Amino acid sequence: MLNAIIIDDEERARKTIAAIIDLHCPDIRIVTQAESVESGCKAIREFEPDIVFLDVKMHDGTGFDLLRKLQTVNFKVIFITAHEEFAAEAFRFSALDYILKPVDPKDLEEAVEKAEKYISLENIDIKLDTYFANIQSDSKENKKIVLRTVKEIFVVKVKDIIRCEADKNYTRLFFVNGKKLLVTKTLKEFEDMLSGYRFFRNHQSHMINMDFIDYYKKGDGGFIVMKDGATVPVSMRKKDSLLQILGSI
């Protein structure tokens, strides 16, 4: 059984989250609730929770302010936000778990399942710094993403990723400096995050950064040669889309 705290200045939101957890998350116990940064800090210090459902914007500050008031963050944080899509994108890039308001039961269930799987001491400072860097930057050139392997956390620039390759439920990323990382996300998750950043899903198991294409070799199926020398297959159903994109460059 994991102990959790809900911190949100909207009573309706707190009740909704508590009700969903009561119905669908039998291994989670809500030990208390709080309605502000100050009362939230007090509750965390008193109850030492495993999970905190944390509102982003409250009347006396933000959830980020709350975390910075604490000396250590040794619990899983699931942010609750009413931010627009750009802010949600920044959460995903920063590997910060979040739920959009109004809270959807399915989204909350999935966030809790993920939290139960990855309960551990997180490097929240890295994730927060990346979030703020992304939210304050207007340029896609400067966007960064937090990548989590089984043992480590890395922060990289999106523009430095050459390609992504599926490896079961993981994804192997290849970078301009020759580095490779096996990351604990599926290729579909990366497709959802990076599709607006000139990344193209050219195959069931491959996604490429269009800026690193060297040339396309026609023929049966066809394949792409990347600037790092890698040869990447193109599925038949993606061939026309790829040629259309290449023709417009």
pLDDT digits (tens, 9 = 90+) for 44-69: 999 999 999 999 999 999 999 999 99
pTM score above 0.95: no
Please state, rounded to an integer, the average pLDDT across all residues of the chain. 90
Q: Is 95 left (phi over 0), alpha (psi -120 to 50) or beta?
A: left
Kindly list the structural domains of the chain, giving each domain's residue range(s) and its CATH number in brackets, ordered by start.
2-134 (3.40.50.2300), 139-248 (2.40.50.1020)
How much is the pLDDT for 161?
97
Beta strands in the chain (DSSP E): 2-7, 28-34, 51-55, 57-58, 61-62, 76-81, 97-100, 144-148, 153-157, 161-167, 170-175, 180-183, 199-203, 206-209, 213-217, 223-226, 231-233
Q: Which amino acid belongs to residue 174?
A: F
Give CA–CA dist 175/76, Å, rounded.
Answer: 30
Q: Where are the alpha helices (DSSP H) in 137-225?
A: 187-194
What digits encode the pLDDT tens for the residues 68-82? 999 788 899 999 988
Give the per-residue pLDDT at 136: 83
Strand-by-strand arrangement of the 213-217 sheet: 213-217, 223-226, 231-233
* pLDDT value for 86: 60
Cβ neighbors of 219 (< 8 A, separation 6 or more) are none
Low-confidence ranges of the chain (pLDDT < 70): 84-86, 119-122, 220-221, 248-249
Q: How far is Cα 155 from Cα 200, in angstroms, rounded to an integer?
A: 22
pLDDT at 67: 93
Rounded Cα–Cα distance for residues 43 and 37 (Å) = 10
